[in-house]
Structure 1
Amino acid sequence: MINGLRRQPLLAVLRPQSLNQARLQLEQLHQAGLCHAELAVTPSPDWVAMARELVIDFPELRLGAASVRCSAGLQAALQAGLGYVVSPILDRALLEQAAAAAITLVPGVFSPTEITAAVRWGAPAVKLYPAASLGPGYWRALAGPLRPLPFCIAAGGLAPGDANAWYAAGVDALALGSCLFDDDQLDPALSQLVVTLRSKCYP
């Protein structure tokens, strides 16, 4: 996951209400050239079945689980065959369970204390959340006292137009969610952002 984000530092976070909606959205993301997408977890047999179908239908995409906050969500992601897990919270037990299952889990962090704890507990990366409430200057300001900073995905309330400021501030990747689709039509700005990242030599 992290190696893939070094090549294309962008994720889409989806909350589809049906299999058909998920397929429609993922197809547009794939056509736009995006590689990484997260599916918000609902720990139920129906969600697991849907996610399994999507893994089969979109082998070119790196699909992961979003909004995982408990063991049941982690187990649902594992049963679905998703490749990584992202959480809005920092939970040591959840990190340990993910490590035991050999799946990458990226915890959500907000404060310097949480960032430090995540690194100490073995998190391979962190999700700065909600990033829009903090602003890109926040991450830049942490570089001095907390160096070296971990691999960071900024998420929460961001739009394609925010990308340049956040990358300049030193975050490693961006996660975009509710801004991506309007009536299931992909925002053209996302396609342009993918093209821009490619032109900056992300293979």
Structure 2
Amino acid sequence: MADHPGDPSGLIASLHRQPLLAVLRPHSASEAHRQLQQLQAVGLLHVELAVPTQPEAAWIALVRELAERFPGLRLGAASVRTLAQLEAARAAGLAYGVSPILDPPLIEAALHWRLTLVPGVFTPTEVHGALRLGCALVKLYPAATLGPSYWSSLRGPLGPLPACIAAGGLHCGDVLPWLAAGVAGVALGSSLFVDRPRLADGDGTRPGDDPPAVADADLDPDLAELLARLQPRGEV
């Protein structure tokens, strides 16, 4: 399932089978396990794990543990902006990394280390820059501010475009319109989980106390239906 090092073609092919990615920013190991269990249960394949600004050995160990615990998931690194984060993703054995920015030195380092890195783009200039750097797959971010028609509108002035993952501020209901507009995949973040507040009755609170803390979050109920609608794409 792993890509040829540094070659995004494996990831692009995998997105053709299921053009959806989850971007997680868990605050603890238990939360990471819980979220991955929920996503695996509904059949999601691609999951990006945000790399801390200053990654430590504990994060690398956790990611390696998650990879062993969930071998059916295609884990990658999210929010890669520095060489230290890229190196941590490499040390954790992740299959790919995704960045919100277009940074030539970061792309060069990924090529040197034979890692698959998906750079972030927003403007036509950045898309052109990614093409000149030989990027076959990019991340359009933040996509919610642009709308699905934006990406296809670039084909006229720029010519053939790289494969694209739309990300940033999107919800389950946005996925199909973006795919219809020609992107290779859509990444969903915090919108995947819906906070489930504890009941006030019997929880020990008194009038005037702060509102009860938020308990575990549930998956957006629309996700399972969306994945079912995407399933025929994998049979093409």
Q: Same fold (TM over 0.5)?
A: yes
Asked if 1:13 corresponds to 2:45, the answer is no
Deviation for aligned residue 1:124: 2.5
Task: Name the residue aligned to 1:26.
Answer: 36
Task: Name the residue aligned to 1:166.
Answer: 178
The residue identity in structure 2 corresponding to 1:2 is I
Q: Which stretch has the larger CA shift, 154-163 or 1-10?
A: 1-10
Bigger share in helix: 1
Task: Name the residue aligned to 2:112.
Answer: 100
For the aligned residue pairs, the C-alpha RMSD in angstroms reads 1.0
The count of residues paired between Structure 1 and Structure 2 equals 202
Please tell me whether the aligned partners of residues 110 and 130 of structure 1 are also in contact (alpha carbons under 8 angstroms): yes
Please tell me whether the aligned partners of residues 12 and 184 of structure 2 are also in contact (alpha carbons under 8 angstroms): no
Task: Name the residue aligned to 1:195.
Answer: 228
Q: 1:4 aligns with which of 7, 14, 22?
A: 14
Q: How does 1:101-116 map onto structure 2 within 5 Å?
A: 101-116=113-128
The residue identity in structure 2 corresponding to 1:123 is C
Q: What TM-score, normalized by structure 1, do the two folds share?
A: 0.96
Q: How does 1:148-167 map onto structure 2 within 5 Å?
A: 148-167=160-179
Once the two structures are superposed, residues 105-138 of structure 1 have per-residue CA deviations (whole angstroms, 9 ceiling, x without a partner) of 0000001110111121122300000000111111
Q: Could you tell me the percent identity over the aligned residues? A: 58
Asked if 1:72 corresponds to 2:84, the answer is yes
Separation of aligned partners in 2, 1:94 and 1:2: 20
Gap runs ≥5 in structure 2: 1-10, 196-216
SS for the counterpart of 2:178 is: helix
Once the two structures are superposed, residues 45-66 of structure 1 have per-residue CA deviations (whole angstroms, 9 ceiling, x without a partner) of 2211111111111111000000
Separation of aligned partners in 1, 2:159 and 2:43: 33
* Larger-Rg structure: 2
Please tell me whether the aligned partners of residues 90 and 108 of structure 1 are also in contact (alpha carbons under 8 angstroms): yes
